[in-house]
């Protein structure tokens, strides 16, 4: 019951100001967003990579309101890519981007987001790595998928995310699987109405399995974005049945969540990529992590009260 309330708060400017200013917030935020600057995040990248993990890097930020913020987002990713070049990790460290941070919701936003994200995809390709377009709320998806298709004409390795909770996703998955795309499948983290999305966990889980089967049997590269132990073992089974080798799909999890499982899957020989977010505009990302697990909220509330 708490999840939808927290997700509503994740879009409230008043709550953003209140929570971002609370002195205790930082300690709790650090669990999920382990740095604010490129200098702070580079040692984390090295450490995860040394442990046999791969990464997808997210500069936190979304729902910007001015074109200059979109240009700043592009520049932040370009600065990150400059540092990744020195680390020579290739596809072991890729980028995840949210198009709402690149201006998608502004006037002429579709073109603006494409114009801002293209140099990031180009720079990533120049150092031998890739970019994946995150999925945001359902109203943004047609634009995201069209930008993905456009970018793939020059950079076929560009990936995208699809969300199992949306009714439309099975059809999207079929199209993407046929075109041979890299696709991350997640359950979905936004507050979506019953007209477009399953609301019950068991319905979302069942849809996840149906969609994953489509991806595993298709021509693309499935990326399983989930911490759910049941779905992870089903994914392994589906990969086996589809005859996929260990390097023909990968698991992805978020930094700070089930870290032992990251290492366990990597030790089993799986490609395991950790979605690692950093930056100062962490509010929306952090609130979605609270919404996913009410225990996180209790911990957060307790730290506020015991100060």
Say whether residue 145 binds ligand FDA (CB under 6 A). Answer: no
Say whether residue 70 binds ligand FDA (CB under 6 A). Answer: no
Angle at 253 between CA 29 and CA 104, to 5 degrees: 75
Among 258, 263, 299, 304, binds ligand FDA (CB under 6 A): 258
Residue 256 φ/ψ, nearest 5 degrees: 90, -5
Q: Is 75 known to be catalytic? A: no
Say whether residue 148 binds ligand FDA (CB under 6 A). Answer: no
Q: Parallel, antiparallel, or unpaired for β 272-278 and 159-163?
A: unpaired
Contact 276, 54 (CB under 8 A): no
Say whether residue 251 binds ligand FDA (CB under 6 A). Answer: no
Q: How many residues bind ligand FDA (CB under 6 A)?
A: 23
Of 85 and 191, CB closest to ligand FDA: 191
Q: How far is the CB of 54 from ligand FDA (least distance, A)?
A: 11
Q: From the candidates 184, 271, 288, 289, which is the catalytic residue?
A: 184
Query: Among positive and negative, which fits the CA dihedral 198, 99, 170, 131?
Result: negative
Report which DSSP code applies to 199: -
CA distance 196 to 268: 38
Say whether residue 51 binds ligand FDA (CB under 6 A). Answer: no
Cα distances from 65 to residues 8, 74, 215, in angstroms, run 19, 15, 35
Contact 244, 216 (CB under 8 A): yes
Say whether residue 226 binds ligand FDA (CB under 6 A). Answer: yes
Residue listed under structure tokens 């709402």: 100
Among 103, 109, 159, 188, binds ligand FDA (CB under 6 A): 188
Half-sphere exposure for 39 (CA within 13 Å, toward CB): 0
Say whether residue 222 binds ligand FDA (CB under 6 A). Answer: no
Longest dimension (CA), the chain: 54
Region binding ligand FDA by CB under 6 A among candidate stretches 38-46, 142-150, 171-179, 220-228: 220-228
Closest CA relative to residue 87, chosen from 132, 129, 31:
129
Q: How far is the CB of 111 from ligand FDA (least distance, A)?
A: 22
Q: How far is the CB of 277 from ligand FDA (least distance, A)?
A: 10
Contact 17, 248 (CB under 8 A): no
Of 11 and 126, CB closest to ligand FDA: 11
Among 36, 170, 217, 228, binds ligand FDA (CB under 6 A): 228
Say whether residue 161 binds ligand FDA (CB under 6 A). Answer: yes
Site residues (CB under 6 A) for ligand FDA, limited to 276-305: 289, 292-293, 296
Q: How many CB atoms lie within 10 A of CB 192?
A: 20
Say whether residue 24 binds ligand FDA (CB under 6 A). Answer: no
Q: Where are the beta strands (DSSP E) in the chain?
A: 54-59, 93-97, 131-133, 159-163, 182-186, 221-225, 250-254, 272-278
Site residues (CB under 6 A) for ligand FDA, limited to 116-135: 134-135
Q: Is 58 known to be catalytic? A: no
Of 193 and 243, CB closest to ligand FDA: 193
Chain residues binding ligand FDA by CB under 6 A are 134-135, 161, 163, 186-190, 225-228, 252-254, 257-258, 275, 289, 292-293, 296
Query: Which residues are known to be catalytic?
Result: 134, 184
């Amino acid at each position: 019951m708490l999840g939808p309330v927290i997700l509503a708060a994740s879009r409230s400017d008043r709550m953003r100001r209140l929570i971002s200013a609370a002195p205790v917030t930082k300690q709790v935020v650090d669990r999920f967003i382990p740095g604010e600057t490129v200098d702070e995040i580079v040692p984390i990248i090295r450490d995860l990579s040394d442990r046999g993990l791969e990464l997808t890097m997210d500069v936190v930020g979304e729902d910007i309101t001015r074109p200059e913020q979109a240009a700043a987002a592009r520049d932040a990713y370009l600065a990150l890519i400059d540092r990744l070049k020195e680390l020579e990790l290739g596809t072991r460290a890729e980028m995840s981007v949210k198009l709402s941070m690149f201006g998608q919701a502004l006037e002429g936003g579709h073109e603006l987001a494409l114009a801002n994200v293209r140099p990031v995809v180009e720079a990533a390709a120049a150092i031998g790595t890739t970019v994946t377009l995150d999925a945001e709320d359902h109203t943004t998806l047609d634009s995201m998928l069209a930008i993905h298709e456009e970018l793939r004409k020059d950079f076929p390795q560009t990936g995208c995310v699809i969300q199992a909770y949306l009714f439309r996703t099975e059809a999207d998955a079929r199209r993407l699987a046929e075109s041979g795309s890299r696709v991350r499948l997640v359950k979905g983290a936004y507050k979506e109405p019953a007209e477009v999305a399953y609301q019950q966990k068991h319905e979302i889980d069942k849809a996840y399995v149906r969609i994953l089967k489509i991806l595993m049997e298709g021509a693309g590269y499935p990326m399983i974005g989930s911490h759910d132990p049941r779905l992870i073992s089903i994914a392994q089974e589906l990969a086996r049945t589809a005859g996929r080798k260990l390097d023909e799909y990968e698991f992805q999890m978020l930094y700070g969540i089930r870290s032992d499982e990251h290492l366990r899957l990597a030790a089993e020989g799986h490609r395991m990529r950790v979605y690692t977010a950093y930056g100062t505009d962490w509010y929306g990302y952090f609130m979605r992590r609270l919404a996913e697990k009410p225990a996180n909220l209790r911990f957060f509330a307790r730290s506020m009260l015991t100060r």
